[in-house]
Structure 1
Amino acid sequence: MSSFKGSNRTLLTWLKLWDHCVFGKKLKRTGTINDFIKVQSKPLHLSYENRRHQEITAETLNRQLDAHGRPEFKVALLSGPPGIGKTTMAHMVARHCGYHVQEINASDDRTLESFSRLLSGALQMKRTLDATPKPHCVIVDEIDGAPAPSVNYLVALAKGATNKKSRSMLLRRPIICICNDLYAPALRDLRRIALVLHVPPLETQRLAERLLQICESEDLTIQISVLRSLCQKADNDIRSCINTLQLLVCSGCTVTHSDVEKLTFGSKDSKRSLFDVWAEVFRLPRLKRFIFSIRCEKVLTAVAHCEQEDRLFDGLFENYPLIQFKDRHLRAIRAGLCWAQFMDHLNRLVLSRIDRNTTMLQSVLSDLSMEIRALVDRSDLVIDVLPFLLLIVQPEITSVTG
């Protein structure tokens, strides 16, 4: 697995805590879960809303097992950018612990009925003749794309049934949820009761070395510098890197730097948060030999995918004095302030006019009847109708003198 080893061990430790409930095994009281968390790059990888969860040890978790032998956290929530191996990590760890993996894509099942039916079917304790003898471990992928009622149903299931109808659905199997946006509004209640594990993105050098191993196993000769450029271009997305390598190799040409620079990557789950964009702007890559043009393209892409432009530039203006860099004559600060001034003029003169025109256009569309609005497109209205509306309503009439 290419995912971070600290995250792998933490998830493995949590799954082993289910052995008493699922397999009837006695838990070993040696070691602590905090020992696995200390090796991670960031200290806050558990439930962020309750700081005491950072100091929980295996002995504490054992004493807090409920009457059914279940650990305190009934659900694990993995978060991180796309393409870093979260789903592969969950599958491998669950299989290593002796489970049969049952995967559910929460974004595909948009109704509460279908989601609850799939989830309850995956958690059934009865076994049919053609079923696997291994117990199920449910992996709910893309939980941040699920509607709020489905997430609330999962939260209620993890907390335990309170009514008579759902008493038979007592949760006796681990559930692993995977998301890209940890702070999605629908996940607010789930974050409070889940074991939150942040899977950090892959480093460029480590991903390039892994891609080099894949190329060697496939009898492909590609320079590692080209692979590093590919990783930077794909924003360290291992899925995109492998698919792109397959596309380039199938074309029958030798992969070079020029081929990588010509690539255009589609962005899955492209919405970026403010903190991600600020980190992209202020944080330089750890790799010494990075291509400046690729870095500029990544910054522009991150800014374009941010939905809060006003807060974005306010945060840049607020935090740029805190950045440590070597510039004796303050040329970089001067250039940055000039661009900030240009952005202020742009907001005051151009964007205000765009907002006014957008509001006017929305007012015109809202006044139209439903029959006419179904036949009118916004772009057609702007290009073909509104520029000539004044001439249609008030045409120029020239007086004819006899």
Structure 2
Amino acid sequence: MASIHQKYQEAIRLYAETDLSAVQIAKACNVEVAGFRAYLGRHHRDLLLKRYGMEGMECSVKLRSKRGQRPDAHLKYKEAVEACDNLSYIRLSISEIARMFGVTATGLGNFLRLHYPDVLERREKAKLRLGIADNTWRGARRQCAEVYTQAVEMYKTTDMTISEVAEFCGVSIGGLSQHLRFYHKEVIEKRFSEREQAKKGKKKIGHISGNGRKHVPDPETVERYREALELYRNTNLIVKDIVQRAGVPLEGFRYYLRTWHRDLMLERRGMSAAGKDRDDIDLSITKRYLKSTSAKYADAIDSLKANPRQVAKVAAEFGLHPETFRMYLKEHEPELSKRLGMMKAANGKTVSRQAAEKYAEAVRLYETTGEELKSIARRLGLVYNSLGGYVRRNCPEAKQRHEAIVAKKKTD
């Protein structure tokens, strides 16, 4: 802390003893302007209040509000504004009143237009009533209004900033800003309320944000990652290979994807943001499957759908690891996995759904007739050993009913 005080010691002396601005002092003392201003506000606020003519006021008073007039400006023009609104000075022009109170005519005029437009209106009405109007045009000049008509309309109907509108229409940024603040306050108020509303919620891509700009990536950033994004969208390459090929930083590209192309990341992970905000989906809990993984299992899945059979057999046919393939099916093909998976039979035993469907007719015949199991298997085109093993493991009650029917026939 002592080193900081020592760093700004000379700058503070100049600020207290001279009328130099903070920028001039910072340059003279070779310190950062922002740092010097922050140091002033934190450790020498009394000097700031003195500089602004606000000695004796509470140190908590705001020197600069978010909008509206500054306290120092209010004090500077206070008496001149009161004179402009006083009938005793009605015969004087704004320029004459400004000179009388030691302020510039332009500064006073702009201050009135910006903060006290009602004073100007009352002055004009009073002059007309008293018959001392000078027939001078007040307000926006016709030529200026024509120059800024297109820019004002564009600022009203789009999300473009003042600087963007001015550049597009080929007009002065400062001139357009002043024209809007003086003669189109409702437009400025509307944009301000939109910005304040945007600060309350999450930033949405393509919508206005709290700083008044659209929440979109910079054109330079878009161009920088254009090739990498195309590779990410249209190939099965992993991100590390993509950044090497495109020559962009890995962490930068990952941040670009998370911020501006979250939908592509979800697509790569086999998820969809339909019906919910894409920003609400936590990427850390989503499974990171590559596009190449989807292509790897595509043929096996198509084969299973066309001809349902044991997952292990299909995995062996296509050279896949059976357990890994089974896990992939459960996550990405839940309906197919459920159809091929295990189920609870009527007797409470857990059996393969496919086997239960395959042997259902054979079991029904076996438990309701006296026909031998080998005969039933031959008639239905089933493998006897497989059918016998299934009945012994999963349908012992069917065997008991079959034996009861056979014993009854022998008795009769």
- TM-score bin (small chain): under 0.3
TM-score where L is the length of structure 2? 0.21
Who wins on radius of gyration, i.e. which is larger? 2
Larger relative contact order (C-alpha < 8 A, sep ≥ 6)? 1
More strand by share: 1
